[in-house]
Structure 1
Amino acid sequence: MGDADLLEVLAEEGEKVNKHIDYSFQMSEQSLSSRETSFLINEETMFQKNQQSKDSIFFRDGIRQIDFVLSYVDDIKKDAELKAERRKEFEKNLRKTGLELEIEDKRDSEDGRTYFVKIHAPWEVLVTYAEVLGIKMPIKESDIPRPKHTPISYVLGPVRLPLSVKYPRPEYFTAQFSRHRQELFLIEDQATFFPSSSRNRIVYYILSRCPFGIEDGKKRFGIERLLNSNTYSSAYPLHDGQYWKPSEPPNPTNERYTLHQNWARFSYFYKEQPLDLIKNYYGEKIGIYFVFLGFYTEMLFFAAVVGLACFIYGLLSMEHNTSSTEICDPEIGGQMIMCPLCDQVCDYWRLNSTCLASKFSHLFDNESTVFFAIFMGIWVTLFLEFWKQRQARLEYEWDLVDFEEEQQQLQLRPEFEAMCKHRKLNAVTKEMEPYMPLYTRIPWYCLSGATVTLWMSLVVTSMVAVIVYRLSVFATFASFMESDASLKQVKSFLTPQITTSLTGSCLNFIVILILNFFYEKISAWITKMEIPRTYQEYESSLTLKMFLFQFVNFYSSCFYVAFFKGKFVGYPGKYTYLFNEWRSEECDPGGCLIELTTQLTIIMTGKQIFGNIKEAIYPLALNWWRRRKARTNSEKLYSRWEQDHDLESFGPLGLFYEYLETVTQFGFVTLFVASFPLAPLLALINNIVEIRVDAWKLTTQYRRTVASKAHSIGVWQDILYGMAVLSVATNAFIVAFTSDIIPRLVYYYAYSTNATQPMTGYVNNSLSVFLIADFPNHTAPSEKRDFITCRYRDYRYPPDDENKYFHNMQFWHVLAAKMTFIIVMEHVVFLVKFLLAWMIPDVPKDVVERIKREKLMTIKILHDFELNKLKENLGINSNEFAKHVMIEENKAQLAKSTI
C-alpha cells in the first residue's frame, strides 16, 4: 500500500469517527426536549437529606449512576459572567451529546459555596462512543485455561491472593464494540455491561471535546481549558464507595473496598497484587505501572540474595584479610609514618590509625566484588528481557495486542491552540487545524536548552562547592583528631577522611533535594513555554528534561568519587591544587571504594525514606486541612461527590513522578552496585513499602483517576536500556580504578615473594617513600620530626633512585591489568547479554499460541453471527443462502490462513 492509499484509508477512518459523533448529536437532539424538561424539574426540587444515602453514587432517582462530577464555586471577580456563560453553554452542549446532568445547589453542600454537576452517560451514548473509541467487549467466555501453577507455586501459597480477588472476572473472547452488532455481545444488564472505568473514560472523552463557545473568532472546547481558567474547579469520576466498608444495596460492588483490603494494607506487604482488579478500577495505564513495579521488585529479590551473600562473605573474611591485618598490626602499620593529608596544618600520621576503616572497606572491596559486578551485568539483561515477555503476556491478558495510541493522548493541547495564529490542512482528517511554524518555536527551544544546561551546570557547581567544603574543613578535623594522637598507635574508625566524607555526603544530599524541588517547577514551566502540540509531546519533553537533570543531580557526586577523586592527586612536593588553593582530595590507603559506598548509601537511603514520607504525609495533611475547611455545615449531607471532592487530585503527571522515582532507583542499583552489594536489598525493602504506600494513597487519599490505556511503560523502557548498557561500563571502571582488587591481584601473581602467604607485604609494596627534606617550605608541617621519610599511596621510585619519584614499572603493570580487566569484563558481559537477548523470545510461545487461538475464535464467532443474521434477512431462499455461506466460509478460511 502506497502513501496515498494509506492517507486515503486514514481519512476514511477519521470520517467514520466524525459520523459516529454526528450521529450521537442528532440522536440526542431528537430526545433532548423530554430529558431537558425532566432535568429542569429535578433541578428545581430541593434535595432532602433523608432521600439518599451519603455513599450513594446515583442521581436522586436512585437509578442513573453518576459517571463523572464537575464542581465550581461562585466567582465574584470581574470575569464571573463570562465563566457563568461558558458553563451554561458547555452544559447545554453536553446534553446535546446525550449526557444527562443533575446539579446540586451550593446550599446543599457542606461548605455552602460549591456547586456539583453530576453526569450520567445513558446507554445510547455509551454504545456510540464505545464504537468510536474501539473499546473491546466480551462476546464469549474463553475456553483457554488460565496458566497452571508450577509445583514451586505451592510453596508460595501464603503470598497468593484468593482467586476471586486475583481474577475478579472470567476471561472472555472480545471484539471491538459495534452498536449495530449488539446481539453479538454478552449483554446481560445494560447498567453493568460497561464497567465504571470504561464509563468514565467515555465521559471524559466527550468532556475533552465538548465546545463551550466561540471567543476571538475561534471555537473553544474541552474541560481542560475550563479547568485552567477556573471556570470549573475540578472534574473527576467517583470512587465506588468508602474504602473501609463494603457498599450497601443498591450501590454496585465496592471495588475500592476490595482493593484496600487486599492491596493497600501494609499487613499485606508479602502478598501479590490484584493486578486485574487494579486495571479494572484505575485503567491500564496505572495498572501497567504496578505490574512493572511488582515485576522489578520480584527480580530485585534475586539480586538482593546474591548481594547479601557477597556482603556476608566480606564479613566472614574480614578478620582474615591480610591487608587490614597488616594495617592494624602495630609492628607493620603502626611503624609506617604517612605523609600529611594537607599542607602545613596537617601532621604526619601512622597507618594503623585507619585500622577499623580498612576492615570496613573489606566488607565491600573483596574478591566477590568482581563476581557481583559481572552478575549484575547479566541480571539487568535478564530483567529487561523477561520484562518484555511479561509485557507481551500482559498485552494478551488485558486485550492490548492490537492497541493503538488513544486519540485523547494525541489530541491538541488547549494551550497549543490558544497560542497558534496559523492553520494548516491535516492530511488525515482533511480539516484545518492549528499550526505553529518552527521559527516561532526556536526561541523557546533555545531558552529551554539554555535553562536545562544552566541547571545542570548549577548541579556541578554545587558538587564542586561541597568538594571545597570538604577540603576546607579537612584541616580542622585533622587538627582535632590527629594533633596529639596522630603518631600514637591508635585504631579509630572516624578518620579525617571518613568524617569529612560523611558530613560532605549529608550536605550533598540536602543540596540535591533543594535543587530537585526548584527544578521540578522550572522544568514544568519551560516545557509549557515550548508549547507542545499534544499531551504526549508534552510528557515526552518533560521526561527528557527531568531525567537529564535527575541523572546529573543524583549521580554526579557518585561519579566524582568513583572516577575522579584520588586519581589526579600528584605526590608529596608536587601535588595538584583546585583553584590553585586547595589540595586535591586523596583516597584512604584502602582506596576510594568505601567513600563511594558511603556516598551511595546516604543518597539512596535518604532519597527513599524522604520520598516515602513525602508521598504518605503530603496528601494526608492536605486532605485533613481541606476536610476541616469544608465541614462548616455539619447538618448537611456529606455526600459521595463531596467526599471525593475533598481528596487530593492525582494529576496528569502523578504517574510520571512515580516512574521517575523508580528509574532513578534503578540507576543506583545498576550503575554503582559494584561498590555496594547491599543496594539491591535496600531497593527491595523500599519497593515493598513503596507498593503499599502507592496503593494506600491511591485508594484512600486521592480522587479516582480517569481510566486510560497504555500497552507499555513507554519512553521509560528506552531509558532503562540505556542505563543497563552504561552500567556495564561504570561497574567495570569501579572494579578497575576505584576498588583495590586489581592491584592486589597484580601483587599476588607478579610481585609476591612469599609462596605460603602470597599477600604478605602487599601494604608495604603499595606505598611509596618520600624524603621529608624534599617538601617545599609552604607545604611541610610546621612541627619538626626526627624521622626522615614518610609514605604515600602510589607506585613511584624511591628518593635514592635515579628515576626519583617517577612511576615505576609496577604502576604500568597495574594500569595494563586494569585496562585488560575492563575490556575483558565488558566483552564477556556484552556477549552474554546478546546471547540472552537472542535466546529469550520477546513474546513467549504459549502467548503466541493463545493470541492465534483468540483471533481464530473471534473470527469464527463473527463469521457465525453474520451468517445467522444473513439467514434471517434472506428468509427461505436456500440457494441464495448457500451461495452466501460459501462466500463467507471462503473469507473465514482466508483469515485463518493469514493467522
Structure 2
Amino acid sequence: MGGSSGRRATNGWVFWEEGNQWVYLLGGGQPMGALPISDQVATTLSKVKTELSAPLLSSFFSLLSPLLFLLAPLLSPLLYAPLSSLLFSFLPSILCQQERRREYEANLQKAGLELETEDKSVRFLKTYFVKIHAPWEVLATYADVLKIKVPFKENDIPDIPMDWLFTPFRLPDHIMNPEPDYFTSPFNKGKIDFFLIDDKETFFPPSVRNRIVYYILARCPYHKTDREDKKGIKRLLNNGTYGSAFPLHDVRSYCPTSERFNLYTHWAQFFSFFKEQPLNLIRKYYGEKIGIYFAWLGFYTEMLFFAAVVGLICFLYGLFTFDDNVWSKEICSEEIGGNIIMCPLCDKKCGYWKLNSTCNSSWQSHMFDNVGTVFFAIFMGIWVTLFLEFWKRRQARLEYEWDLVDFEEEQQQLQLRPEYETKCTSRRLNRVTQVPEERVPPTDSCPLSTLPLPQISLIIACIIGVIAYRLAVYAAFASIMKDSPTNNIHMVGSLITPQLATSVTASCINFVIIMILNLMYERVAIWITDMEIPKTHLEYENKLTVKMFLFQFVNYYSSCFYVAFFKGKFVGHPGDYIYMFGWSKLRNEECDPGGCLIELTTQLVIVMSGKQVWGNVQEALVPWVMNRWGSRKARSHPESRYSRWEQDHDLQNFGHLGLFYEYLEMVIQFGFITLFVASFPLAPLLALLNNIIEVRVDAWKFTTQFRRPVASKAHSIGAWQEILNGVAVLSVVTNAFIVAFTSDMIPRLVYMYAYSNDLSMKGYINNSLSVFNISGFSKDNRPEDGESPEWFNSSVITTCRYRDYRYPSGHEKEYSHTMQFWHILAAKLAFIIIMEHVAFMVKFFVAWMIPDVPSEVKARIKRERYLIQEYLHNYEVFSPQKTFNMHTITHLFISPVLALRPLI
C-alpha cells in the first residue's frame, strides 16, 4: 500500500502528519497500530528516554553510583538508603521492558508491518510513539487467514423503495450508504482477480485494517522463545511495557471530507436527533460490534415511540375522567369523607384523622389507577413481544448487509485470556484436535454459588434499611403534620401528606444508596468473574454480563418490588398489628385508602428519572473534564507541536467493557418500562426522551471524547438478547400482580358487580373500610396525649375505620376476614391467571407469526451462495491462473513468527 511523495499509508487508522498516513502507533497511546510507550520513571531519572540501549542505561547507572557515594555524607541516612534502593530497583525492569519492546517490534517487522519511531524533538519527554503501517501484502495475507468477506459482484436484487416515507428523516445518500451494495465472498489471496479490486489503497475499509493490525499485535511474540504466554500486546500492556495501544482517528473531528467529520456533523450533533443514524458509516469506521449496538439502540428508541403514544393516551384518559371518579368524590366529600374517622397509622405519635385529608392523593391516584391501566399493561405485553421479534428481523437484515451470515466468533474473542493461561498447571487432551492442551485445575477456579452470598446479603441489608427508614420516619412526619398538612408546616404545601412525604424522601434516599452501591457492585461482579477464571474473552464478557445484571436488577428494582407487593399487605389490624421482624417497634406500613399504586408511581419516577439524568450528565461531563484536564499542558503549545497521535492519546480509553456499560444502562431502563409500567403509563415517554439524548451523547463521546476503539465483529447483542427475553416474560407476571394486588381495580369491580345495588361505585369507600372499637387499643398502640386533633372527642367518637375487609367488634367472627375479602382474593387470582394466559398466548402467537428472517433476506442469502459457487466454478475453469500455491498458504498458517494457526 505504498505510495509516492512520502505517502506511507491509507489504512484503517488514518493519521496525517506532513502528508504521511499511518495506521497504528506503538507507544504512549494510539489507535490499534500504535503502542504508546509510557516512560514512568522519566522524571526520577532526569527524563532518561526508554529508547536508550541497555549499555547506555548501564553506563548511566554506573556514573550515578559514585555520585551517590560522594553525596552520601550530605544526605540524611534516612534518605540515602531508600533513594539509592529506589533508583537501582528500576534498572532491571527498565532493561527487561526495553528488551521486550525490541524483540516485539522486530517480530512485527518480520510479520510485514512497517514501523517508525516518532521524532523525540516534538514530544514533551513523557511518552514516545512507534507508528505502524500495514502494507497491501500484509492486509491481503491476513484477510485470507481471517476469511474476511469482500465484494466480488454488485448486488442485483433491488431494495423496496421506501425513501418517500422517510424523506424528512433521511441523511444524504453518500452518508447513509458510503459504499455500493455488493455480493461478498471470503477473501482468497490466490484468486485476487476474482474480487472487485479497483484500488488496493481503499479496498479494505478502515475497520478491517483496524482488525487485521490488532490481530497481528495480539499474536506476535515478544520473547525469543515461542512460548504461548509470551505473546500479544495485551500482556505487554498489562506488564507496563507499553502504555496503550489503539487505532488512530483519521483526522480531527472538525476537518471536512473525512469519515470522522461526517459522523460528527450528521450523527453526533444533537440537532440531528430526528434524523436516522448512518449505521453503514458507523460500521465502516468503528466496526460491526459498535454498529450493532447503535442499531439496537436506535431501533429500541423507535419502538418506544409507539409505547409512549399509547401510554400518554392512557394517562390523558385518567386525567379527562377526573370528574367521573366517584370514590374520590366520596373521600373528598365533607358528608362522607369528612365524617369517617380513621385509625392512627403509627403507634403513639400518630393521631386519629379524617378520611378527606387524603383527598388530593386519591385524585392523583386516579390518573394512574383506572381502566386504562389494565389496557396498557396488556398492550405492553404485546409491545415487548413485537419489539423483540422485529429486532430479530432487523438484526437478520444487518447480518446479511454487514456480511455476518456465516459469522464465527473472531480469533481475538476466542483467544485464551492471559489470566487463564497463567493459571494453567495441568494438561488435557483436546477431543477435536487430539493435541494436549493446558487447563486450569478445578480446585483453582472458585464456584459461582459460593461467591455472591455476602454481596446479596449486603443488598438485602440495604433494602431492609430503607424499609426501616420508611417505618421510622413516617411517625415523625405524621407527628409534625397532624391530620392536616397545612396546620403546622405551610412551606410544604397543601398537597403533601405524611404518606407522600415519606414516600418521596425514602425514594430519594434509596436512589442515593443505589448510586453508591453501583460503584461496589461493579467491582464485586468483576472480582467474582475473575475468580472463576473464564477461558476466553467472549466467555468472560458473557459471565460478567449475567452477574452484573443480577446485581443491578436487585439494586434498582428491589424498592419497587417492596412497594408493589409487600407494603400494606402484611399490617394486621388495629389491636393486633404486625411489626418488622415481629419484635421491633417499627410497625409495618399501611396504604392510603386509595391504594399503594401512587406510591409505586412515585418510587418509579424518582429512581428512573434520577438514574437517567445522572447517567447522561456523567457520560457527557466526565470524559470532557478528564480530556480537558489531561491535555491542559499540551494545548498550551502551538498546534504544530501538538500532533495528531498526541491528541488521540490524550482522549479517554474506551476499554474492552465500554459497550457492556452502555447495554447495561439501556437494559435497566427496559426493565423499568416493562416490569412496573402498569403503575406509570408515562414511563415509556420518559425513556423515549432520554434515549433521544442518549443516542447523540454516545455518538458525541465516540467521535470526540474517546480514542478510536479496536474494530471487532458481532452478529447480535449477545447475552443481552436472552436477558431481554427474560425481562419480557417476567414483566407479564409483575404487571398482572400490580393490577391485581397493588391497584384497587379488582376490589372496585367486585363491589360494582357483586355488592352494589345499582351497579355503580356509590358506597364503595364505606364498604372498603372496616370498623374498630377504640377501646380495644392497647397502651402501646393508643395515641399519646396531645397527638390527636382538637376535634377528636373520645367520649363521643368510639370507633375508627381502617382499610380491610373484617367483621366489626361484637361479631361472632370479630376482626376475622369477611366473605367479601375471599371473593376479592379469588377475583385477583383469577385475573392474574387470565391475564397471564392471554398475554402469553398473544406473545407466542405473534412470535410464531413473525419470521425471524425476512423473506427478501433469505432470497439474497440464497442468491449470494449460488453466485459464489457459479463464479468460483467459472473462475477455476476459465481463468488462466488455475494453479493455486498451497505451499505458500500452508506456510502462512504454520509460520512461528506470524503465529497464524487458528485457535480451536
* Bin of the TM-score, shorter chain as denominator length: 0.7 to 0.9
1:888 aligned partner: none
Please say if residues 286 and 708 of structure 2, whose CA atoms lie closer than 8 Å, have aligned partners that are also in contact. Answer: yes
Q: CA 1:322 to 1:386, structure 2 compared with 1: closer, same or farther past 3 Å?
A: same
- In the alignment, the residues of structure 2 paired with residue 370 and residue 315 of structure 1 have an alpha-carbon distance, to the nearest angstrom, of 16
1:666 aligned partner: 670
Of the structure 1 ranges 428-437 and 539-548, higher mean CA displacement relative to structure 2 is found in: 428-437
1:452 shift after superposition:
2.0
Of the structure 1 ranges 274-283 and 315-324, higher mean CA displacement relative to structure 2 is found in: 315-324
Q: CA 1:844 to 1:114, structure 2 compared with 1: closer, same or farther past 3 Å?
A: same
Q: How does 1:761-780 map to 2 (within 5 A)?
A: 761-780=763-782
Q: Does 1:136 align with 2:149?
A: yes
1:872 shift after superposition:
7.6
1:291 aligned partner: 295
1:710 shift after superposition:
0.5
2:168 aligned partner: 158
Q: How does 1:455-854 map to 2 (within 5 A)?
A: 455-482=455-482, 492-579=494-581, 580=583, 581-631=585-635, 634=638, 637-754=641-758, 758-783=760-785, 785=794, 786-854=796-864
2:311 aligned partner: 307
Q: CA 1:258 to 1:632, structure 2 compared with 1: closer, same or farther past 3 Å?
A: closer
Please say if residues 796 and 806 of structure 1, whose CA atoms lie closer than 8 Å, have aligned partners that are also in contact. Answer: yes
Please say if residues 349 and 486 of structure 1, whose CA atoms lie closer than 8 Å, have aligned partners that are also in contact. Answer: no
1:130 shift after superposition:
0.2
1:453 aligned partner: 453
Q: Does 1:101 align with 2:115?
A: yes
- In the alignment, the residues of structure 1 paired with residue 739 and residue 525 of structure 2 have an alpha-carbon distance, to the nearest angstrom, of 36
Please say if residues 353 and 492 of structure 1, whose CA atoms lie closer than 8 Å, have aligned partners that are also in contact. Answer: no
> The residue matched to 1:440 in structure 2 has which SS?
coil
Q: Does 1:231 align with 2:241?
A: yes
- In the alignment, the residues of structure 2 paired with residue 676 and residue 606 of structure 1 have an alpha-carbon distance, to the nearest angstrom, of 15
Counterpart code for 1:811: F
Please say if residues 114 and 134 of structure 2, whose CA atoms lie closer than 8 Å, have aligned partners that are also in contact. Answer: yes
- In the alignment, the residues of structure 1 paired with residue 485 and residue 231 of structure 2 have an alpha-carbon distance, to the nearest angstrom, of 77
Counterpart code for 1:94: L
- In the alignment, the residues of structure 1 paired with residue 109 and residue 225 of structure 2 have an alpha-carbon distance, to the nearest angstrom, of 21
- In the alignment, the residues of structure 2 paired with residue 377 and residue 557 of structure 1 have an alpha-carbon distance, to the nearest angstrom, of 22
1:57 aligned partner: 15
- In the alignment, the residues of structure 2 paired with residue 808 and residue 147 of structure 1 have an alpha-carbon distance, to the nearest angstrom, of 64
1:352 aligned partner: 356
Counterpart code for 2:37: Y
Q: Does 1:246 align with 2:269?
A: no
1:453 shift after superposition:
2.4
> The residue matched to 1:116 in structure 2 has which SS?
strand
Deviations 1:381-414 (A, max 9, x none): 1111111111111111111111111111100111
- In the alignment, the residues of structure 2 paired with residue 193 and residue 615 of structure 1 have an alpha-carbon distance, to the nearest angstrom, of 36
Deviations 1:47-106 (A, max 9, x none): 9xxxxxxx9725777366557211113343341111111111100110111111011043
Please say if residues 412 and 534 of structure 1, whose CA atoms lie closer than 8 Å, have aligned partners that are also in contact. Answer: yes
- In the alignment, the residues of structure 1 paired with residue 578 and residue 149 of structure 2 have an alpha-carbon distance, to the nearest angstrom, of 68
Counterpart code for 1:92: A
Q: How does 1:316-355 map to 2 (within 5 A)?
A: 316-355=320-359
Counterpart code for 1:454: P
2:37 aligned partner: 72
Deviations 1:235-292 (A, max 9, x none): 0111111112215xxxxxx101001111000011111100111111100000000111
Counterpart code for 1:457: S
Counterpart code for 1:62: N
Deviations 1:430-460 (A, max 9, x none): 554331121221xx22xx5444222222122
Please say if residues 609 and 686 of structure 2, whose CA atoms lie closer than 8 Å, have aligned partners that are also in contact. Answer: yes
Q: CA 1:560 to 1:547, structure 2 compared with 1: closer, same or farther past 3 Å?
A: same
Please say if residues 354 and 493 of structure 1, whose CA atoms lie closer than 8 Å, have aligned partners that are also in contact. Answer: no
1:532 shift after superposition:
1.4
> The residue matched to 1:363 in structure 2 has which SS?
helix
Q: CA 1:801 to 1:382, structure 2 compared with 1: closer, same or farther past 3 Å?
A: same
1:590 shift after superposition:
0.5
> The residue matched to 2:178 in structure 1 has which SS?
coil
- In the alignment, the residues of structure 1 paired with residue 625 and residue 559 of structure 2 have an alpha-carbon distance, to the nearest angstrom, of 33
Q: Does 1:860 align with 2:875?
A: no
2:215 aligned partner: 205
- In the alignment, the residues of structure 2 paired with residue 140 and residue 56 of structure 1 have an alpha-carbon distance, to the nearest angstrom, of 27
Please say if residues 604 and 668 of structure 1, whose CA atoms lie closer than 8 Å, have aligned partners that are also in contact. Answer: yes
Gaps of 5+ in 2: 25-31, 42-89, 786-792, 885-904
1:526 shift after superposition:
2.8
> The residue matched to 1:703 in structure 2 has which SS?
coil
1:83 aligned partner: 97
- In the alignment, the residues of structure 2 paired with residue 343 and residue 216 of structure 1 have an alpha-carbon distance, to the nearest angstrom, of 76
> The residue matched to 1:434 in structure 2 has which SS?
strand
Counterpart code for 2:480: F
Q: CA 1:529 to 1:723, structure 2 compared with 1: closer, same or farther past 3 Å?
A: same
- In the alignment, the residues of structure 1 paired with residue 548 and residue 768 of structure 2 have an alpha-carbon distance, to the nearest angstrom, of 43
1:739 shift after superposition:
0.5
Q: How does 1:395-434 map to 2 (within 5 A)?
A: 395-434=399-438
Counterpart code for 1:108: V
Please say if residues 354 and 492 of structure 1, whose CA atoms lie closer than 8 Å, have aligned partners that are also in contact. Answer: no
Q: CA 1:633 to 1:529, structure 2 compared with 1: closer, same or farther past 3 Å?
A: farther
Please say if residues 22 and 132 of structure 2, whose CA atoms lie closer than 8 Å, have aligned partners that are also in contact. Answer: no
Q: CA 1:194 to 1:520, structure 2 compared with 1: closer, same or farther past 3 Å?
A: same
> The residue matched to 2:150 in structure 1 has which SS?
strand
Q: 2:127 aligns with which of 66, 91, 114?
A: 114
- In the alignment, the residues of structure 2 paired with residue 695 and residue 330 of structure 1 have an alpha-carbon distance, to the nearest angstrom, of 57
Q: 1:127 aligns with which of 106, 128, 140?
A: 140
1:423 shift after superposition:
3.4
1:52 aligned partner: none
- In the alignment, the residues of structure 2 paired with residue 105 and residue 425 of structure 1 have an alpha-carbon distance, to the nearest angstrom, of 50
1:871 shift after superposition:
8.8
Q: CA 1:537 to 1:824, structure 2 compared with 1: closer, same or farther past 3 Å?
A: same
Of the structure 1 ranges 309-318 and 213-222, higher mean CA displacement relative to structure 2 is found in: 213-222
Please say if residues 796 and 805 of structure 1, whose CA atoms lie closer than 8 Å, have aligned partners that are also in contact. Answer: yes
- In the alignment, the residues of structure 2 paired with residue 865 and residue 695 of structure 1 have an alpha-carbon distance, to the nearest angstrom, of 44
Q: CA 1:404 to 1:333, structure 2 compared with 1: closer, same or farther past 3 Å?
A: same
Counterpart code for 1:563: F
Count of aligned residue pairs for this structure pair: 808
Please say if residues 56 and 639 of structure 1, whose CA atoms lie closer than 8 Å, have aligned partners that are also in contact. Answer: no
- In the alignment, the residues of structure 2 paired with residue 844 and residue 218 of structure 1 have an alpha-carbon distance, to the nearest angstrom, of 44
Counterpart code for 2:717: I
Please say if residues 58 and 65 of structure 1, whose CA atoms lie closer than 8 Å, have aligned partners that are also in contact. Answer: no
1:522 shift after superposition:
2.4
- In the alignment, the residues of structure 1 paired with residue 738 and residue 816 of structure 2 have an alpha-carbon distance, to the nearest angstrom, of 25
Counterpart code for 1:287: G
- In the alignment, the residues of structure 1 paired with residue 555 and residue 837 of structure 2 have an alpha-carbon distance, to the nearest angstrom, of 30
Counterpart code for 1:496: P
Please say if residues 17 and 644 of structure 2, whose CA atoms lie closer than 8 Å, have aligned partners that are also in contact. Answer: no
1:425 shift after superposition:
4.1
Cα RMSD of the aligned pairs, angstroms, is 2.4
> The residue matched to 1:533 in structure 2 has which SS?
coil
Deviations 1:540-584 (A, max 9, x none): 111121011001000111111111110010100000001321110
